[in-house]
Chain A
Amino acid sequence: MPAIVKFENVTKKFGKITALNDVSFEIDEGEFVFLTGQSGAGKTTLLKILIADLKPTIGNVFFAGENIAKISKNKIPKHRQQIGYVFQDYKILTERTVRENIEVALAVVGISRKDWKKRVDAVLELVGLGDRSELFPQQLSGGEIQRVSIARALVVNPKILLADEPTGNLDWETAQNIVDLLSKINKEGKTVLLATHHEGIVERLKKRTIRLRRGMIEK
């Protein structure tokens, strides 16, 4: 499988603080990779570089063959549309229903409206929220909201799914369910990069792990 993500000697500094230090790794298409490390280890910085929200101070970052470190501003939206991002704090639009939240992603990518229902229904079924489509986020539990976030990320059929501490705000049982869901999505062929500090989850799935410590790859 060709590498979909490639970090080449990436360093990211915020003033005198070094968030990432000479980080290099590759992720192949269809792989499930954990990105672990304590808070402040550089996990979120790495993910933000991958979605071009931050630029590396030194080094190159390739996504599907394109160097994100040198991406022009006007190409960033198109780049992000190829990535499904699941946030720790969900980042769900609270004044829109579950269905509308997912439709937003389809509108952003420019998918024809006539295809929306079919795609939204399919992805809701996949995350187990088929009967919750017309509810508002306030009417859902934390685990269900995170599933909406996953559904929104998946509905555009991204090349990779990035999940930044998706279980950070959830209880253990719900967290396991979310990780199982991500594992199921990976088994269907989707590349998944899951950032977490939750060792229990990492141990449970036994997948390749990139461990960060003070901005450097430990293992």
Chain B
Amino acid sequence: MLNHIETGLRNIRRSPFQAMAAISVLALTFFVTTLIAILVYSSHQIISYFETRPQIIAFLKDEAPAEDVADLIKNLSSNEKVKNVKFVTKEEALEIYKNATSDNPLLSELLSPDIFPASVEFSVNDLSYAKQVVGEVKGKEIVESVGITASLGGESTLGDVVDQLKSITANVRVGGALIVFVLLTTSFMVLFVVIGLRISIRREEVEILRLIGATPGFIRMPVLFEAIFYGILGVFIGWLSASVVLMYLSPHIVSYFQEIPVLPKDPRYFFSLLGLLLLLEMIFGVVIAFVGSFLALARVSKKK
């Protein structure tokens, strides 16, 4: 094994520019892959943020009987499309208002809880259910009106927001997958050509080894190690470059999106996410290197 690794490294030292070409293409591929993976993660986080916020508030009439309110809460809680159902009393509504206007206490000084309606807040499991659920709640006798969270842009634009978010997410995923696919294919081809070239240059050496009794495995091993070395180094450089860019940009991204957790705020989770990406990319890189070199070897053997 050690002998094969040594031979593989010696081959790399012999033609450093070919090695650099293979590693550069792989590094570029995995640089973009890391960024796209983070983009997909962030878009998923945005969707999930909106999906888990209390998005809909049913304001209740003052004269609503307690039993009817309890029925409404029970119905919503048992609805599979609805989650996080919460009853907000008039007092709690005042508290929320006070908190929201804490920078100007005068605004809430003379208010009594009576002027705030009690309400039932809830979220939907998927934003596409929102219209239907809102319609059902609006039809209830005890409901005065239904409010949609401002972050969704109000009821009239709810459908647009949902569609827009879904479409952006889908585009990021499909576009990202397409770019990654093209780059992976390019990397694979470059690796295939470089390894094929290497084997062709070493044809005489391969012939000598064959004649003195080397097994096909013995001849292939250094080539496979060489390709795997390219894969590992290319992935690491690409991942490291993308990680540095992300670490530099993350404070700006986090402050721009404020409470929306597009990136993990806890550094441990952030680095765990990057670590997971590195692991997955390493597996991909090694598989590409292995398959590319194996096919190149098979092609050269067939030519012989």
In-complex Cβ contact of A78 among B205, B208, B211, B213 (8 A): B213
Q: B200-219, CB under 8 A of A: which get 1 and which 0?
A: 00001101110111111010
A36 in the interface (beta carbon within 8 A): no
Say which residue of B208, B211, B216 sits within 8 Å of A93 (CB atoms).
B208
B249 at the interface (CB under 8 A from A): no
Q: How far is the CB of A81 from chain B (nearest CB, A)?
A: 4
A51 touches B211 (CB 8 A): yes
CB distance from A135 to the nearest CB of B (A): 17
Give the chain B neighbours of A105 by CB distance below 8 A.
Answer: 212
Q: Is A28 an interface residue (CB 8 A)?
A: no
Say yes or no: B215 contacts A77, CB within 8 Å: yes
B205 & A93 in contact (Cβ 8 Å cutoff): yes
- Distance to closest chain A CB from B250 (angstroms): 48
With a CB–CB cut-off of 8 A, which chain B residues contact A152? 212
CB within 8 A of A108: which of B14, B207, B213, B216?
Answer: B213
For chain A residues 83-101, which have a beta carbon within 8 Å of chain B?
Answer: 83, 85, 87, 91-93, 95
Residues of chain A within 8 A (CB-CB) of B218 are: 77, 107-108
In the complex, chain B residues 214-251 whose Cβ is within 8 Å of any chain A Cβ: 214-216, 218
In the docked arrangement, what's the CA distance between A85 and B14, Å?
A: 28
In the bound complex, how far is the Cα of B262 from the Cα of A44, in angstroms?
72
Return chain B residues, CB-CB under 8 Å to A87: 211
- Of the listed residues A80, A87, A113, the one surrounded by the most CB atoms of chain B closer than 10 A to its CB is A80
Quick one: closest A residue to B207, CB to CB? Answer: A91
Q: A101-156: which residues lie under 8 A (CB-CB) from chain B? A: 104-105, 107-109, 113, 152-153
Contacts A93-B205, A95-B14, A108-B218; is A113 near B2 (CB within 8 Å)? yes
Kindly report which residue of chain A lies nearest to residue B217, judged by CB atoms: A77
Q: How far is the CA of A142 from the CA of B214 in the complex (A)?
A: 25
Using Cβ atoms and an 8 Å threshold, which residues of chain B touch A51? 211
Nearest Cβ on chain A to B210's Cβ, whole angstroms = 8
Contact between A104 and B213, CB atoms less than 8 A apart: no
Q: Within the complex, which residue of A80, A85, A107 is in contact with B3, where a contact is CB–CB below 8 Å?
A: A107
**Residues on B with beta carbons closer than 8 Å to the beta carbon of A77:** 213-216, 218
Shortest CB distance A29–B (Å) = 20
Inter-subunit contact B3/A91 (CB<8 Å): no
Most chain B CB within 10 A, of A77, A91, A105, is at A77
A108-B208 CB under 8 A given contacts A113-B2, A113-B3: no
A87 to B208: give the CA distance in the assembly, Å: 10
Residue A53 interfacial (CB < 8 Å): yes
* Nearest Cβ on chain B to A176's Cβ, whole angstroms: 26
- With A and B bound together, what is the CA distance between A108 and B218 in angstroms? 7
Question: Which residue of the partner chain B has the closest CB to A116?
Answer: B3
The answer to whether A85 and B212 touch across the interface, beta carbons within 8 angstroms, is: yes
**Within the assembled complex, what's the spacing in Å between the Cα atoms of A113 and B4?**
12
Q: Which residue of B lies closest to A105 (CB)?
A: B212
When each residue 169-199 of chain A gets 1 if its CB lies under 8 Å from chain B and 0 otherwise, what string results? 0000000000000000000000000000000
Q: In the complex, what residues of A have CB within 8 A of residue B14's CB?
A: 95
Residue of A92, A105, A152, A153 with highest tally of chain B CB at under 10 A: A105
Q: Are A104 and B211 in contact (CB under 8 A)?
A: no
**Residue among B2, B3, B216 facing the most chain A CB atoms (10 A cut-off):** B3
Contacting residues, chain A, for B215 (C-beta < 8 A): 77
Q: Which of B1-26 contact A (CB under 8 A)?
A: 2-3, 14
Name B211's contact: one of A85, A95, A113 (CB within 8 Å).
A85
What are 9 A-B contacts defined by CB distance under 8 Å? Answer: A53-B211, A77-B213, A77-B218, A79-B213, A85-B211, A91-B211, A107-B3, A109-B213, A153-B212
Q: B interface vs A, CB < 8 Å?
A: 2-3, 14, 204-205, 207-209, 211-216, 218
* Contact surface of A with B, Cβ cutoff 8 Å: 51, 53, 77-83, 85, 87, 91-93, 95, 104-105, 107-109, 113, 152-153
Across the A-B interface, the 3 shortest Cβ-Cβ residue pairs: A80-B213, A81-B213, A77-B215
